Structure 1
Amino acid sequence: MADKKEQRRGLGRGLSALMADVEVKPQASTDTSPVRADRVVPVERVVPNPDQPRRTFTEAQLQELADSIRTKGIIQPLIVRVNPRNASEFEIVAGERRWRAAQMAQLHEVPVLVREFDDTEVLEVAIIENIQRADLNAIEEAAGYRQLMFKFGHTQEKLAEALGKSRSHIANLMRLLNLPETVQDMVVQGDLSAGHARTLITAPNPEALAKMIVAKGLSVRAAEKLAKDAISPPQPKVRPSGSVSVEKDADTRALEGDLSAALSMRVSIDHKPGHEAGKITISYESLEQLDALCAILSTA
């Protein structure tokens, strides 16, 4: 009985104890020392977890993993438990991608680590493994953190310490879950980066802005400005006289250019549309330029 207790992993032993079983090593890792498996079992006796949080397994990624397994085998054993619905089978706790890829590689057996987990612990370990995957997108990772916090009572500080992440990283990712689902889907599909999405969290119309960012191919910096302008639209400049700056037409700008070239000084024309009167401002940079301007005006 004492040995059985010692072998159990669970919430009582803390998140770090569960982490010890699910440390993920890339299949193509240069570390060639394999993790020792408890046993090798026929692939047909292994079944997936029906409550697996991750539902998407892309064909290209599975094929890449299968190619690696054909040449190097399965480096990291699957973590399994005895299937509570069929004692002759093993249910996957962590490693469903490896199991699927092993079948594509036509392996007949897979290495496993057999653990005694209850249903709650199975879900927790599955979430932890998914979070540690390098190919996880920002929304999936954030959803994993939220599940660990809400389902199991873990704090951001505890997650940061156990997972080797900064607390700000976890907090910033979880804020993405406040975005509309349509924007989150754009991140999941790879149309929008997490950096772009973060700029939209406090924007009043994130969905419209997200579509604009994607359509125009804006940088993160440009997206930040777009979101900032949506929150606080830039106000038109007001002249000291109280008049509002109006966009100048092409003819006015051309005339400014001609006068500036003739006088070798900067000339600005303020002309209100629909009015006959206006104002010309000539800027000089030295007293010599002022003298030259006075001479021009005196001979006119």
Structure 2
Amino acid sequence: MSKRPLGKGLDALLPALSINEDDKVVEIPLAQLRANPYQPRRNFNDETIQELADSIKEHGVIQPIIVRSVLKGYEIIAGERRFRASQKCGMATVPAVIKKFTDQQVMEIALIENVQREDLNAMEIAIAYQALIDQFSLTQEELSVKVGKSRSHIANFLRLLQLPEEVKNYVSRGTLSMGHAKAIAGLKDKKLMKALADTAIKEQWSVRELEEEVKKLEEKSDSKKAKQKAKRKDPYINELEETLRETYRTTVKIRHGSSNKGKIELLYYSKDDLDRLLELLQGKTS
């Protein structure tokens, strides 16, 4: 699939949400409004919505929302919090400016504006980034330029999408921080991710404490793999190593490579030990 440019770009799209003297403000019944289907925000803070509703009761909706006309009514492009707050305080209509936007522009505005202004929680940002990548066939590098963030920033958020659903919910609710989620996102075992997340929440671990626990588990896993690998070694090689250890009274490793080639390693721990081994080897070969 060929890559397409991201619409008109952020600089051209976001100013389109501003209201100027030529824009006509109309009162639209709340019943005729519906949310932007591309809105990445899944959670709206009830407390802040209530605060906004209290302000609207006293002062009204100071800044009109931006909408576009659709088949049945209007779709909110910008101002969903004002819409929700107006519902909460029982208003029948809300002031709005009707503008024309394509579906692509609506998606770009909804995703990029929210990500730029950091109105989303970590999981919503991750989902928004992935949606932009999928919708517009972008690389992580291209996306980083579009939203003005570093590539590592993009990669860290996208890694959150590998978390189990329960852990994603912790991050969405704010029970688990982005730092905590990032610490466990690199693990492969989803059950282990969930267990660590639960323990981190229960024990109120700091991000550093969780990172240390992950490090210990990774080291333990590496050690276990090394032992399993050693156990799988050819019994004949094991027997030869033991015979050579007894003969030379030192650690001996036989490393078998491809094409029946390999090497024998004898460890020494001092110059005297080296001289001793050399004498034994010369004696064995003379």
TM over 0.5: yes
Percentage of identical aligned residues: 42
Structure 1 position 55, deviation (Å): 4.0
Q: 1:150 to 1:75 in 2, by over 3 A?
A: farther
Structure 1 position 57, deviation (Å): 3.1
Q: 1:15 to 1:69 in 2, by over 3 A?
A: same
Letter in 2 for 1:126: A
Indicate the RMSD between aligned Cα atoms, in angstroms.
3.0
Q: What CA distance in whole angstroms lies between the structure 2 residues aligned with 1:111 and 1:141?
A: 29
Q: 2:12 aligns with which of 14, 17, 29?
A: 17
Q: What CA distance in whole angstroms lies between the structure 2 residues aligned with 1:163 and 1:75?
A: 29
Q: What CA distance in whole angstroms lies between the structure 2 residues aligned with 1:185 and 1:168?
A: 23
Q: 2:30 aligns with which of 44, 60, 67?
A: 44
Q: 1:115 aligns with which of 93, 96, 99?
A: 99
- Partner SS, residue 110 of structure 1: strand
Q: Which residue of 2 is the match for residue 276 of structure 1?
A: none
Per-residue deviation, residues 53-73 of structure 1 (Å, max 9, x unmatched): 434334323212212333454
Q: 2:56 aligns with which of 69, 73, 77?
A: 69
Q: 2:77 aligns with which of 85, 88, 93?
A: 93
Letter in 1 for 2:128: G
Structure 1 position 161, deviation (Å): 3.8
For the pair 1:226 / 2:213, whether they are aligned, the reply is yes
- Partner SS, residue 16 of structure 2: coil
Q: TM-score, normalised by structure 1?
A: 0.61
Structure 1 position 224, deviation (Å): 0.4
Structure 1 position 160, deviation (Å): 3.5
Q: 1:141 to 1:219 in 2, by over 3 A?
A: same
Contact 2:67 2:75 in 1 (8 A): yes
Contact 2:10 2:112 in 1 (8 A): no
Contact 2:159 2:186 in 1 (8 A): no
Letter in 2 for 1:166: S
**What pairs with 1:236-255 in structure 2 (closer than 5 Å)?**
none
Structure 1 or 2: larger helix share? 2
Contact 1:138 1:194 in 2 (8 A): yes
Q: TM-score, normalised by structure 2?
A: 0.64
Q: Which residue of 2 is the match for residue 163 of structure 1?
A: 147
Structure 1 position 158, deviation (Å): 4.3
> Where do 5+ consecutive residues of structure 1 fail to align?
1-9, 24-33, 236-300
Q: What CA distance in whole angstroms lies between the structure 2 residues aligned with 1:95 and 1:154?
A: 28
**What pairs with 1:1-300 in structure 2 (closer than 5 Å)?**
11-22=6-17, 38-44=24-30, 46-49=32-35, 51-53=37-39, 54-83=41-70, 85-86=71-72, 89-132=73-116, 134-203=118-187, 204=189, 205-233=192-220
Structure 1 position 110, deviation (Å): 2.9
Q: How many residues align?
A: 214
Q: 1:129 to 1:219 in 2, by over 3 A?
A: same
Q: What CA distance in whole angstroms lies between the structure 1 residues aligned with 2:42 and 2:162?
A: 22
Q: 1:159 to 1:112 in 2, by over 3 A?
A: farther
Structure 1 position 145, deviation (Å): 1.0
- Partner SS, residue 13 of structure 1: coil
- Partner SS, residue 57 of structure 1: coil
Per-residue deviation, residues 166-185 of structure 1 (Å, max 9, x unmatched): 33322211111121222111
Q: What CA distance in whole angstroms lies between the structure 1 residues aligned with 2:139 and 2:82?
A: 30
Q: What CA distance in whole angstroms lies between the structure 2 residues aligned with 1:202 and 1:42?
A: 48
Q: What CA distance in whole angstroms lies between the structure 2 residues aligned with 1:229 and 1:217?
A: 18
Structure 1 position 97, deviation (Å): 1.8
Per-residue deviation, residues 184-214 of structure 1 (Å, max 9, x unmatched): 1111121110000100012242111111111
Q: What CA distance in whole angstroms lies between the structure 2 residues aligned with 1:225 and 1:22?
A: 46
> Where do 5+ consecutive residues of structure 2 fail to align?
224-286
Letter in 2 for 1:208: A
